[in-house]
Amino acid sequence: MHAINYESPTTVDEAIKLLASHGEKARPLSGGTDLIIQLRAGVRRPDYIVDLKAIPELRRIAFSLQDGLKLGAAVSCIEIHENADMRRYYPGLTEAAHLIGSLQIQSRASVGGNLCNGSPAADTTPALIALGAKARVTGPKGERIVAVEKFCTGPGATVLQPGEILIELLIDAPERHSSDAYLRFIPRNEMDIAVVGVGVALTLEPDEDRVVDARIGLGAVGPTPIFAAEASKALVGKKLDEATTEEAARLAISVATPIDDMRGTAEFRRHVVGVLTRRAVAKAAERARLNSQR
Amino acid sequence: MATVVIPSLLRKYTGGADRVTVSGRTIGQVIEELVSRYPEVRDHLLENGDVKPSVAVSIDGEMGTGGVLDRVGETSEIFFIPAIGGGC
Amino acid sequence: MAKKTVVETTINGESMEFLCEPRQSLLEVLRDELELTGSKEGCLTGDCGACTVILDGRAACSCLVLGVEAQGKSITTVEGLASSAGLHVLQQKFLEHAGLQCGICTPGFLMSAKALLDHNPTPTEPEIRYALAGNLCRCTGYDKIVKAVIDAASTLAAGSKAA
Amino acid sequence: MAASPTEKPSFRVIGTRPVRHDGFDKVTGRAKYGADYSFPGMLFGRVLRSPHAHANIKSINIEKALALPGVKAVVTSADLPEAPDKMVAAGEAPVNLNHLSSNVLAREKVLYDGHAVAAVAATSAHIAEEALRLIEVDYEVLPPAMTVEAAMKPGAPIVLPTLRNKEDGPDKQTNVANHMQFTRGDLAEGFTQADFIVEREFKTAMVHQGYIEPHNAVGIYGGDGHATIYCSTQGTFNVRALSATVLGMPEGNLKVVPAEIGGGFGGKLVIYLEPLSVLLSRKTGQPVKLTMSRAEVLRATGPTSGSTIRCKMGATKDGKLIAAEIWMAYEAGAFPGSPVGAGAMVIIAPYMIPNFKIDAYDVLVNRPKTAAYRAPGASNAALASETVIDELAEKCGIDPAEFRLINAVKEGSPQVVGPPFKRIGFVETVEAIKNSPHYKSKLEGPYRGRGMASGFWFNVGLQSSATVNIHSDGTVSVVIGSVDVGGQRAAQAMIAAEVLGADIKDVRPVVADTDSIGHTDVTGGSRTCFTTGWAVHDAAQDALRQLKERAAKLWEMKPEEVLFENGKFVPSRPSEKAKPMTLKEIAGRLGRTGGPVVGRATVNPRTVGPAFATTVVDVEVDPDTGKVQVLRATIAQDVGKAIHPAYVEGQMQGGTVQGIGWALNEEYFYDGKGVLRNTGLLDYRMPTCLDMPLIETEIVEVPTPGHPLGIRGVGEVSIVPPPAAVANAIAHAIGVRMTQLPMSPPRLLKAILEKRAANETQAAAAD
């Protein structure tokens, strides 16, 4: 690995100053489970590494039914999985976090880092898109809020400008009779990167089992994670029968633009988008039905 | 007389014969005898005066370990076999 | 070259200071600077688990942690598993069940299993397999490793009941 | 445990499960593997590797790299002695010096992605890595030949311009290094007698041994022309012979010290870093440690051959195999030497088939030079024969186990190569599976299937040395030259303890370096317990004979009048001088009866015990994604005699899981330019423990005739049946016959969808 300098600021302002002063030569560090591998491979060669884990604001999980969720960008996946509110109110996002790599990886990796790494196959991003999560970004020019589906701009690329950091992810509190689910396909039972990932969040009108609101996020089937808007819309106002789900699956497939690679063929990925969409909608719906109180 | 079973790809050099009787009492003598009758087989069996490392010799079901020095019995049956590459 | 920095940390219960370059991983520091070569390098990408240590109570791949990140942290390596009283139950059970062949993955498996039992003293077989999924073994087919951890868990549980 | 058909002597130590002697160090992190060695002033080495599959090297400029502070030396093939394209002596067996040397450091051409081009020694590994970026290599890129089909086509890119084969003659450039053929009976006549014929073409992907420990070597060159290598290898004497040959050193000037080894499976029989560590140490005058990254391991070491196999077999309706015609071509990698010959000799080895013709081709491709991998060539071969046989059994309406028993080879049956089998245990392994709780259990539920397959492996003998030292306190040290990869040290100690009536705790096994023990061949070919165990047995007997002489001296009787019974030396006739003595008691008297006792033995067996295994697996297929879950697996294997049953089971279980990984997800993935894409363990997908069930074992013990303990090698054959067994299980689960490895979800789903479409068109046609 090339020589690097390491800084560990304890406030957001400090971090932004450091990152801004080094511009393109600096790279923020969260869990490091992607960045350190990229440094070794020489894919990224920053001179300065700015560790954000010592900044309290990035390490907190704040949830209330009034204000919803504020998920610090550097919170580790294991902390998410061990948080009772996360498991109860955001089971899909929580299971996505709990799917990343091994427990050794989850003890370091963060949802914020997963997003900022900009991988199209990031497990938590489709789950965040399904939940309509927003990213609170701060930089030298001040603060801005970016919808997660707009955050990634290409493989390994995001909207973050030099000096900017992701502070936290903002997600509304779930409505009554709403819930989410994330499913991914991998060849083994653990340790693989998603060949296809599908996140679904649903709100139901319980008596008729009618969909009031729905969002579907797709991973690993395009240059960035995808918000499947048409597929989501196809569920809204409908009863969750086979025809409805089938139509959503068809529309989800239609927005997928996968490639052939060592992880799967494009043909295979398109097929599996349909399979996982059907399964994830069913799983989210089942959870939503049970979520009668909030 | 001992019998040598000729590997199928060498039979084109032995006029199609698949079994040849020999009087040699060592593998060296046996090979010399074969070569005197069928000169082309030499390169397939010998290298620097010994049995090729790529060739294993079976004498009455036992694997040869002495190359040309291995003894051959009155009525032995001898096979030349490709040695297992690496073998691990 | 970036200058070396002093890192203060606790390793296997002893407070320690070491000098390292920012580009050195915790694994390199343990192996090359502190001569704790029990943690092994298998892949340097977090996929094999041979370098697993316990970092502030959590299993982590020491190849994906910078040495400088260890500042103020507490680290347990395989060298810290046994005590003056003898081998840890996990170590004993790995030996009794022949849960190792070449042994290169063993330190990582032991640390992952330790982290599991610290958080969940009575794991089911699926929970054990999930917790060990980040550790690759190419020799054993996992059978005897899983049996060793199951046995260690029940032995520890029995012990704590007795106590 | 299946009982042995022949009655066995009762043993005191053999067959028990003591804690291994090296266990404590391995669970406490104290065991020293190659990469754990460090020496004062040690430098760190790194290797520059080709980014191209096939290219001429026009020039290499190392100036900028040498100028980097901390860099002490850079070497290329120019620093190695001339390497003519001919066979030269290297220890016991001659090797092609050019091929051997050119794989260590490329000469005029690079022949695969990852081919070593230069090596750097620097004060830190990071500096060495940065230095690699400063070495300028001017390549003239050539088109690669990546598959056997492409490489065998007329006009294919030529991998080795100097390669010739006997059939095409001295003038024709070729990628076909060798053609072997095995025949019996009258093929055409055989097929006319067949009631059922199945013919299929199979393809298997190149796969890696996947040992968790990357290759490593520490070289220390002494000013006196002697050098020492510390490394993790399966064969110290092999490393010494080959490294000395590449370096142009007298073999005796090189000492190889075996570090603990983190897995090998055949991939650590060859040399890569070892000569480079000495070369760099000679240039710098300092110790040099080289270690590979995982990407280097996958790009440049191992792997085993991908293959194409066409298999046609015929059977009569009463289930007799009557004819087999097989064509097989294996990827050798960039230099000759795939295991296709072995594949050809094992593919129908378990069965009596009166008429067959097998053609086997060793084909060069622009991929890494293949190395041995656990029963090399046999798993590919068994996929073809064992799935075709499963289909024939189905057509005959005969249970697959019965079908195998009908055709099974037994003592006296001729092997593919001609000589008859001695006592073997194939039938017993099939019976053991038939009688196993697994095979007797019911498998229920949709998309679930059960499949079985059998496998054969030769095993090898080769040479071993051993010494057994009797110490004055009655403890014993057993010194061997066989590196211990899987626990055989414990087995060797058990054999000595058995012979000498010693407590296993009082016997210390030692794996010695090349200066401290007689020649001992590699730990491979399932030979270590068999051959080295034989040597240890004989060495212990030699010590016992000497101990009897000492007792005779003390008792003033003839040595033959001293007996050794139940761990005690006793006189055969009453005498008041003669009080029975244990080993400990007599050991204390050695000094006064003639000095120390050291037992010695060397062996070079003319016989080996071939191994058979039969495996059954249950799978469940997800029909929507093509993903396969293995629900249950049981292997029955003839091990001759299990010295340490726990480690025998470990070999059976480990090979089974490697075979399942090969079957389902492991594969080398090259892009259109011949560059390896999956260079890490994220995308080279070996099974995790979450993918596997517990692996049930049935140990079958049919002693090897001629071996003092009846041992058979146990290391390899377990990997042979699984890919075929999984394919057969999938066929019985969903009615799809897979003919390509790995049977990964995309491939399986494609087959499922094609079958569904075919059924629909059939149904439509029916209406």
Strand partners, D568: D565, D582
Where are the domains positioned within chain A?
Answer: 5-51, 56-171, 178-290
Q: How far apart are CA D280 and CA D73, in angstroms?
A: 7
Interface contact B63, partner D, CB < 8 A = yes
Predicted confidence (pLDDT) at residue A152 exceeds the cutoff of 80: yes
Interface contact A101, partner C, CB < 8 A = yes
Chains C and B touching, counted as 3 or more CB pairs less than 8 Å apart: no
Which of C75, C139, C140 has the most D C-beta neighbours within 10 Å, making it the best mutation to test the interface with D? C139
Q: How far apart are CA C14 and CA C3, in angstroms?
A: 25
User: Angle at which helices C106-119 and C89-96 pack, to 10 degrees?
Assistant: 130
Q: How far apart are CA D531 and CA B68, in angstroms?
A: 23
Reported as a single tens digit per residue, the pLDDT across D555-603 is 999 999 999 999 999 999 988 889 999 999 999 999 999 999 999 999 9
In Å, the largest CA–CA distance within chain D is 102
Instruction: Test A190 with D688 for CB contact under 8 angstroms.
Output: yes
Cβ-based neighbour number of residue A143 at 10 Å? 11
For C1-154, list the strands marked E by DSSP: 5-11, 14-20, 52-55, 58-61, 74-76
Predicted confidence (pLDDT) at residue C163 exceeds the cutoff of 60: no
Given C2, C59, C69, which is nearest A51 (Cβ)? C69
Picking from C149, C155, C127, the residue whose alpha carbon sits closest to that of residue C137 is C149
Interface contact D31, partner C, CB < 8 A = yes
Collect all residues with Cβ–Cβ distance below 8 Å to D273 and sequence separation of at least 6.
D45, D47, D215, D216, D217, D231, D290, D291, D292
Instruction: Test A188 with D683 for CB contact under 8 angstroms.
Output: no
Alpha-carbon gap: C157 to the closest alpha carbon of chain D (Å): 21
Domains and CATH numbers, chain D: 377-459+608-754 (3.30.365.10), 464-603 (3.30.365.10)
Q: Does domain A178-290 bear CATH number 3.40.309.10?
A: no
Picking from C119, D73, D437, the residue whose alpha carbon sits closest to that of residue C127 is C119
Collect all residues with Cβ–Cβ distance below 8 Å to D74 and sequence separation of at least 6.
D62, D65, D66, D118, D119, D120, D121, D131, D135
pLDDT tier, D767 (very low <50, low <70, confident <90, very high otherwise): confident
Instruction: Test C64 with A8 for CB contact under 8 angstroms.
Output: no
Predicted confidence (pLDDT) at residue D7 exceeds the cutoff of 60: no
Given A4, A5, A108, which is nearest C64 (Cβ)? A108
Say how many CA atoms lie within 13 Å of A71 toward its Cβ: 32
Given C21, C61, C130, which is nearest A105 (Cβ)? C61
Q: How far apart are CA D610 and CA D702, in angstroms?
A: 11
Instruction: Test B88 with D372 for CB contact under 8 angstroms.
Output: yes
The whole-model pTM stands at 0.97
Task: Name the closest residue on chain B to residue D358, using Cα atoms.
Answer: B8
Instruction: Test D417 with B81 for CB contact under 8 angstroms.
Output: yes
Q: What is the pLDDT of residue D8?
A: 54
Reported as a single tens digit per residue, the pLDDT across D86-140 is 888 777 777 899 999 999 999 999 999 999 999 999 999 999 999 999 999 999 9
Alpha-carbon gap: B32 to the closest alpha carbon of chain D (Å): 21
Q: How far apart are CA D482 and CA D526, in angstroms?
A: 12
Mean pLDDT of A265-269: 96
Contact partners for chain C, using 3 or more CB pairs closer than 8 A, are A, D
Strand partners, D469: D477, D598
> What secondary structure letter does DSSP report for D260?
B
In Å, the largest CA–CA distance within chain A is 62
Interface contact C95, partner D, CB < 8 A = yes
Residues of chain D numbered 627-646 and touching chain C (CB < 8 Å): 646
What tokens does D280 get?
């760099």
Residues of chain A numbered 211-240 and touching chain C (CB < 8 Å): none
Given D625, D664, D690, which is nearest A272 (Cβ)? D625
Place of tokens 């017993």: D428
Rg (CA), chain C: 16
Instruction: Test D372 with B87 for CB contact under 8 angstroms.
Output: yes
Task: Name the closest residue on chain B to residue D374, using Cα atoms.
Answer: B88
The CATH homologous superfamily of the domain defined by C89-162: [2Fe-2S]-binding domain (1.10.150.120)
**How far is the CA of C7 from the CAs of A6, C62, C67, C77, in angstroms?**
12, 15, 8, 17
Q: What is the pLDDT of residue B28?
A: 96
Alpha-carbon gap: A11 to the closest alpha carbon of chain D (Å): 32
Query: Which 3 state secondary structure label does DSSP give C32?
Result: helix
Task: Name the closest residue on chain B to residue D462, using Cα atoms.
Answer: B65
What tokens does D323 get?
């004819």
Chains D and A touching, counted as 3 or more CB pairs less than 8 Å apart: yes
Interface contact A42, partner C, CB < 8 A = no
Query: Which 3 state secondary structure label does DSSP give C61?
Result: strand
- For A56-171, CATH number? 3.30.465.10
Q: Top-level CATH class of C5-80? A: alpha beta
Reported as a single tens digit per residue, the pLDDT across D468-503 is 999 999 999 999 999 999 999 999 999 999 999 999
Mean pLDDT of D209-219: 98
Q: Which helix (H) or strand (E) holds A205?
A: strand A196-205
* ipTM of the complex, rounded to two decimals: 0.97
Q: How far apart are CA D602 and CA D590, in angstroms?
A: 24
Domains and CATH numbers, chain B: 2-82 (3.10.20.30)
Residue-averaged pLDDT of chain C: 96
Task: Name the closest residue on chain B to residue D373, using Cα atoms.
Answer: B88
Collect all residues with Cβ–Cβ distance below 8 Å to D576 and sequence separation of at least 6.
none
What tokens does C53 get?
């240590």
Q: What is the pLDDT of residue D2?
A: 42
Reported as a single tens digit per residue, the pLDDT across C9-22 is 999 999 999 999 99
Q: Which residues of B touch D461 (CB under 8 A)?
A: 63, 65
Q: How far apart are CA D411 and CA D705, in angstroms?
A: 11
Mean pLDDT of D439-461: 97
> In A155-193, which positions are buried (b, 16+ CB within 10 angstroms) versus exposed (e)?
eeebebeebbbbbbbbbebbeebbbbbbbbbbbbbbbbb
Strand partners, D615: D453, D635
Predicted confidence (pLDDT) at residue C162 exceeds the cutoff of 70: no
Reported as a single tens digit per residue, the pLDDT across D390-405 is 999 999 999 999 999 9
**Are the C-beta atoms of C17 and C81 separated by less than 8 Å?**
no
Q: What is the pLDDT of residue B42?
A: 93
Reported as a single tens digit per residue, the pLDDT across A1-13 is 999 999 999 999 9
Q: What is the pLDDT of residue A293?
A: 59
**How far is the CA of D177 from the CAs of D158, D166, D340, in angstroms?**
12, 9, 11
Alpha-carbon gap: B51 to the closest alpha carbon of chain D (Å): 11
> Amino acid identity of A2?
H
Reported as a single tens digit per residue, the pLDDT across D326-363 is 999 999 999 999 999 999 999 999 999 999 999 999 99
Contact partners for chain B, using 3 or more CB pairs closer than 8 A, are D
> Amino acid identity of A147?
A
D448 φ/ψ angles, rounded to the nearest 5 degrees: -115, 145
Mean pLDDT of D701-727: 97
Where are the domains positioned within chain C?
Answer: 5-80, 89-162
Which of C45, C64, C66, C101 has the most D C-beta neighbours within 10 Å, making it the best mutation to test the interface with D? C101
Place of tokens 């070449």: C102
Enumerate chain C positions whose Cβ falls within 8 A of a Cβ in A.
1-2, 5, 21-23, 25, 44-47, 49, 52, 55, 58-61, 63-66, 68-69, 71, 112, 115-116, 130-131, 133-135
Q: Which helix (H) or strand (E) holds D95?
A: strand D93-96
Mean pLDDT of A79-102: 97
Collect all residues with Cβ–Cβ distance below 8 Å to D340 and sequence separation of at least 6.
D178, D180, D305, D307, D328, D329, D330, D332, D360, D361, D362, D377
Given D166, D337, D461, which is nearest B85 (Cβ)? D337
Task: Name the closest residue on chain C to residue A188, using Cα atoms.
Answer: C133
Alpha-carbon gap: A180 to the closest alpha carbon of chain C (Å): 23
Q: Which residues of D touch C135 (CB under 8 A)?
A: 688-689
Predicted confidence (pLDDT) at residue C128 exceeds the cutoff of 70: yes
Q: What is the pLDDT of residue D1?
A: 40
Q: What is the pLDDT of residue D223?
A: 86
> What secondary structure letter does DSSP report for B9?
G
Predicted confidence (pLDDT) at residue B88 exceeds the cutoff of 50: no
Q: Which residues of D touch A190 (CB under 8 A)?
A: 688, 690-691
Per-position DSSP letters for A162-202, written without gaps between them? TT-EEEEEEEPPPPTTEEEEEEEE-SSSSSPPPSEEEEEEE
Q: Does domain A5-51 bear CATH number 3.30.43.10?
A: yes
Predicted confidence (pLDDT) at residue B86 exceeds the cutoff of 60: no
